[in-house]
């Protein structure tokens, strides 16, 4: 599925309309062969653009949760996440692997909906591999009312949500499955990168690690941060496709137009709890992860840290057009008793 959504009353309606037309034109041929993929728009009424003085606070406080599942109960999130006061945040961004067995039982998505209000315009979810482990992805769509990848305007910045489960992370040729969806997701990224002009930021929400060629430690070795460090990542059914080689120049072009590009990934927490690094062109790569619900008596070799779990909190000021962020200990956010 592909969607272009507009939530809010910012001053970028013209860009939104232009981008809508370009995506429709570029992807029109693809939609003819994508039976279950839909293209839909959410547009605020015109009077919402007129009475901007009636808007709520011009700032957004955003909570990003990466890898928050409960190791001991496959149908639940970490109990500390359950205890958080989500009313303190204007947006909830889920970085995937929300539960260990998200779609195994129908009741699990009902539970997540009660917790995160999945259909809300303020909740965005980049699916992880555990979220689709048991298939039933149509059930996720039904509960969220959103497709698996889409773009959403957020009163001054652009949020691009990816489904990185469509990418291929192995040395072997990619499986010839979901080829139309893979091609359409890449086409969406291209169209957004080509068309975005007035937004202050392009934020890319994803699960699996991306741009691993640029995730390095100070000596230049691959950073041991995200749970995967594949190079190259194949985003389509073409065995020669390469996500970084294809998409990174598009993102650097956006960055070159004065629009800050920020990637936020959720597939970490086992080897490190936070990640923040800039590429030479100034693109930010961020991530945070939760993993400490694991029983310490039974720790797999790939889990190398039990440092305090962290979450990423972002603040966007629409008037100043700034996006700031910081990491906070999950335990420190729990209600005081």
Residues 153-193: tens digit of each pLDDT: 998 999 999 999 999 999 999 999 999 999 999 999 999 99
Residues near 145 by beta carbon (within 8 Å), at least 6 away in sequence: 118, 119
The reported pLDDT for the residue numbered 219 is 65
The reported pLDDT for the residue numbered 155 is 86
Pick the range with the lowest mean pLDDT from 178-192, 213-227, 260-274: 213-227
Average pLDDT (194-216) is: 95
What's this model's pTM, rounded to 2 decimal places? Answer: 0.86
The reported pLDDT for the residue numbered 228 is 83
Mean pLDDT, rounded, of the chain? 85
Q: Domains in the chain and their CATH numbers?
A: 2-43+57-333 (3.60.21.10)
- Which of the four pLDDT bands, split at 50, 70 and 90, describes residue 1? very low
pLDDT at 33 over 70: no
Residues near 152 by beta carbon (within 8 Å), at least 6 away in sequence: 3, 4, 5, 6, 7, 121, 124, 158, 159, 160, 161
Report CA-CA distances (Å) from 48 to 11, 54, 213, 316. 11, 9, 43, 20
Contact by Cβ (8 Å): 232, 255: no
Residues 279-334: tens digit of each pLDDT: 999 999 999 999 999 888 889 888 988 999 999 999 999 999 999 999 999 999 99
Three-point CA angle 149, 155, 161, nearest 5°: 15
Q: Quick one: which H or E segment has residue 264?
A: strand 260-265
Q: Which residues of 300-330 are buried (b: 16+ CB within 10 A; e: fewer)?
A: eeebeeeeebbbbbbebebeeeebebebeeb
Tokens linked to 79 = 């109990």
Reduce the DSSP state of residue 149 to 3 states and report it: strand
- Chain centroid to Cα 28, Å, comes to 25
The reported pLDDT for the residue numbered 124 is 98
CA 127 to CA 139: how far, in whole Å? 13
- Chain centroid to Cα 112, Å, comes to 17
- Which of the four pLDDT bands, split at 50, 70 and 90, describes residue 10? very low
CA 229 to CA 231: how far, in whole Å? 7
């Amino acid at each position: 599925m592909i969607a272009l959504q507009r939530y809010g009353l910012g001053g970028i309606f013209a860009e939104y309309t232009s981008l809508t037309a370009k995506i429709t034109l570029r992807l029109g041929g693809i939609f003819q062969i994508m039976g279950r993929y839909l293209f839909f728009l959410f547009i605020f009424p015109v009077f919402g653009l007129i009475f901007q003085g009636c808007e709520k606070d011009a700032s957004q406080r955003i909570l990003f949760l990466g890898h928050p599942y409960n190791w001991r109960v496959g149908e639940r999130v970490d109990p500390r996440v359950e205890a958080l006061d989500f009313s303190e945040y204007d947006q909830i961004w889920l970085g995937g692997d929300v539960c260990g067995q998200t779609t195994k039982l129908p009741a699990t998505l009902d539970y997540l909906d009660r917790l995160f209000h999945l259909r809300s315009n303020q909740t965005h979810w980049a699916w992880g591999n555990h979220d689709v482990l048991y298939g039933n992805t149509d059930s996720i769509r039904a509960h969220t009312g959103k497709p698996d990848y889409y773009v959403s305007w957020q009163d001054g910045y652009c949020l691009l949500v990816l489904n990185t489960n469509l990418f291929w992370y192995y040395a072997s040729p990619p499986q010839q499955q979901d080829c139309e969806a893979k091609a359409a997701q890449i086409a969406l990224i291209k169209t957004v990168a080509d068309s975005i002009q007035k937004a202050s930021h392009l934020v890319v929400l994803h699960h699996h690690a991306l741009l691993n060629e640029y995730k390095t430690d100070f000596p230049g070795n691959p950073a041991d941060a995200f749970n995967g460090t594949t190079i190259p990542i194949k985003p389509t059914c073409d065995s020669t496709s390469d996500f970084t080689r294809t998409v990174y120049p598009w993102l650097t072009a956006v960055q070159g137009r004065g629009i800050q590009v920020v990637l936020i990934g959720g597939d970490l927490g086992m080897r490190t709890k936070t990640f923040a690094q800039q590429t030479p062109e100034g693109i930010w790569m961020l991530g945070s992860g939760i993993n400490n619900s694991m029983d310490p008596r039974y720790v797999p070799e790939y889990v190398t840290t039990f440092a305090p779990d962290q979450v990423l909190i972002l603040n966007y000021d629409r008037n100043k057009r700034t996006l700031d962020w910081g990491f906070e200990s999950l335990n420190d956010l729990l209600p005081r008793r």
